[in-house]
Structure formats: structure tokens, C-alpha cells
Structure 1
Amino acid sequence: MTLIEQLKESMKDAMRAKDKVRLGTIRLALSAVKQLEVDGQKTLGDDEVLAVLTKMVKQRKDSVTQYIEGGRQDLADIEIAEIAVIETFLPAAMAQEEVEALIAKAVADTGAQGMQDMGKVMAVVKPQVQGRADMGLVSQVVKAKLTA
């Protein structure tokens, strides 16, 4: 079952259960996917849908930070609930050790020598960790490996 099919089935289940938060969040995700499909005039695969969901989680985490700083815990709670729903469709997060092992292998495979080769390493690592690890942390680990 593709990720889109999973989203649609979960939307139906949320409707039946009258789960408004889950239903609204899934509708937002499907809407974002549909918008990209219309803009690009193509059907998105699981990898692209995964990228959309990852982006949605990142946006909501940024919003949570801003809401908390602004003293709006009520709005932060809504965003946190949406993050929890979206994350049910994302693959399990990778452990830090797994990420570091992938990066070490990518550095060795590409023959990266320093920061000028960071793009090569990220190009190898990104498809393997997409949606399973925070790309900001991955980037930091790559920088640390290349500067050490």
C-alpha cells in the first residue's frame, strides 16, 4: 500500500471515529501532496510524499517553538498534536549510531577530504535518511566528520 493510500484510508478511519484533529491533519497532508502534484503535473511517489510529510513536521516544530516563546501554549499544543499524527506515517527514526555509520561510509565511498566535499557526502546520505533523521543534525555530523 502506498503512502497516499495509507493517508486516504486513515482519513476514512478518522471520519468514522469522528477524530477531528487527526482528520484535519490528514486532510492538510493530502492537500499539500495534491498541490505538488498539480504544480508539477505528475503523480508523486512515496519518496516525494515522505518529503512533504517531513517538511510539514519541520514547519510545525518551528511553529511550536515560536508559540511557546510568544506565550501561546494553546496553539503550541495544537501543533504538537498535528506532529504526532503526521509522524505516524513517517518511518521509524534512525538511531544516532546508525546515522553516524552511514555518514562514515558515505565519506569513505566518496573519498571526501574536507568541507568542499560536503555536497557529495550529503547527496549520498540524504536519500538514505530522508524522513528518518533530522537533516539539520545529519548536516552537523557531516561537518564534524569532514573537519576532524
Structure 2
Amino acid sequence: MSLSEQIMADMKEAMKARDKVRLNTVRMIKSALMNEKIKAGHELSSDEELTVLNREKKQREESIEEFTKAARTDLADETKKELAIVEGYMPKQLSEDELEQIVVNTIAEVDAKGKSDFGKVMKALMPKIKGKADGKAASSAVRNHLN
């Protein structure tokens, strides 16, 4: 089942269950995917869909951070629920050990020697972990191994 089909099915299910948070979140995801499809001018590939999901996830994480700073726990809690729904559509995240192993392999693959090769390692690493690991965690792991 494609992501679009899954979203449509989940939207119908949320309507029947009268789950407003889930329905609104799924609608936002559907809207973001549709906007990206129109912008691209073609059906989205799974990588493009993943990029849209990552953008939605990041927006919610930033919102939670801002709401927490402003002491708006009500909005932060609501956004955390939305974030959980968005994460449900994303591929399984890599564990720290799996990420470390991919970083070590990539460093060996590009024959990186030191800090100056950071960009080269990241360029080779990011396509491998796209949607499966956080970019901040990946860059931190690369820095640790290149030091």
C-alpha cells in the first residue's frame, strides 16, 4: 500500500472514530503531499514523500520546543500527539549502534582521514540514512569518529 493510499484509509478511519487530532494531522500530511506533488508536477517518489514527512516532523519538533519555552504545555501536548502520528508514517528509525556502524562503514568507504573530510563523509552518509536517522545524530557520530 502506497503512502497516499495509507493516508486516505487512515483519514476515513479517523473520521469514523471521530478522532479530531488524528484526522487533522492526517489532513495536514495529505495537504503537504498534494502541494509537493503540484509543485513537482508529477507523482511523488517514495524518497520525495519521505522528504515531505521529514519536513512535517521537523516542523512539529520545532513547535514543541517553542511551546515549551513559552510555557504553553497545552499546545506542546497537542503537538506531541501530532508528532507521534507523523512518525507513524515514517520508516523504522535506526538504533544508535546501527547508525554508528553505518558511519564507520561510510568513513572507510570514502577513505576519510580527519575533520577536513567531514563534508565528504556526510554527503555519502545522508542518502543511506535518509528518513531513518536524525541528521544531528549522524553529524555528531561522524564528528566523534573523525576526531
Give the TM interval when normalised to the shorter protein.
over 0.9
Q: Deviation of residue 62 (structure 1)?
A: 1.2
Q: How many residues align?
A: 147
1:117 aligns with 2:117: yes
Q: Deviation of residue 115 (structure 1)?
A: 2.9
CA distance, structure 2, for counterparts of residue 116 and residue 7 of structure 1: 43
Residue equivalent to 1:71: 71
Q: Deviation of residue 141 (structure 1)?
A: 1.0
CA distance, structure 1, for counterparts of residue 118 and residue 53 of structure 2: 25
CA distance, structure 1, for counterparts of residue 119 and residue 51 of structure 2: 19
1:51 aligns with 2:51: yes
Percent identical residues? 37
SS across alignment from 1:91: coil
Cα deviation, 1:16-56, whole Å, max 9, x if unaligned, reads 21111111101101111111111121211111111211221
Q: Which amino acid aligns with 1:87?
A: E
Q: Which amino acid aligns with 1:60?
A: R
Unaligned runs of 5+ in 2: none
Q: Deviation of residue 84 (structure 1)?
A: 0.8
Q: Deviation of residue 13 (structure 1)?
A: 1.3
Residue equivalent to 2:24: 24
SS across alignment from 1:94: coil
Q: Deviation of residue 120 (structure 1)?
A: 2.4
Moved over 3 A (4+): none
Residue equivalent to 1:5: 5
Give matches, 1:30-109, under 5 Å. Answer: 30-109=30-109
Q: Which amino acid aligns with 1:84?
A: A
TM score, norm. by length of structure 2: 0.93
Q: Check whether the contact 1:22–1:82 (CA below 8 A) recurs between aligned residues.
A: yes
Cα deviation, 1:53-100, whole Å, max 9, x if unaligned, reads 122111111111111110111110111010011111111111101001
CA distance, structure 1, for counterparts of residue 65 and residue 134 of structure 2: 16
Q: Which amino acid aligns with 1:44?
A: L
User: How big is the alpha-carbon RMSD for the aligned residues of Structure 1 and Structure 2?
Assistant: 1.3
SS across alignment from 2:52: helix
Q: Which amino acid aligns with 1:3?
A: L
Q: Check whether the contact 1:32–1:52 (CA below 8 A) recurs between aligned residues.
A: yes
